[in-house]
Amino acid sequence: MDSVLHLLGIARKAGRVEVGEEPVGAAARAHQAKLILTAADGADNSLRRAAHFGEAGKAPVLPTPYTKGELGGTVGRSACTMLALTDVGLAAAIAEKLAAADPERCAAAAEELKAAAGKALQRQKERRAHEKNLQKKKRKPWAPPPPKGEKPAAPAQRKPFAPKGKLTIKKQP
Q: For strand 35-38 and strand 17-19, is the pairing parallel, antiparallel, or unpaired?
A: unpaired
pLDDT at 139: 67
The larger pLDDT score, comparing residue 122 to residue 166, is at 122
Selection from 83, 90, 79 nearest residue 41 by Cα: 79
Per-residue pLDDT band for 172 (boundaries 50, 70, 90) equals: confident
Residue 22 CA to residue 79 CA, distance in Å, equals 15
- The CATH number corresponding to 3-113 among 3.10.20.600, 3.30.1330.30, 3.40.50.10800, 3.90.110.10 equals 3.30.1330.30
Q: What is the separation of C-alpha 67 from the centre of its chain, rounded to a whole number of angstroms?
A: 28
Mean predicted lDDT score pLDDT of the chain? 88
pLDDT at 111: 93
Mean of pLDDT values over 120-142:
85
pLDDT at 156: 64
Output the pTM of the full model: 0.75
What is the widest separation between alpha-carbon atoms in the chain? 99
pLDDT surpasses 60 at 1: no
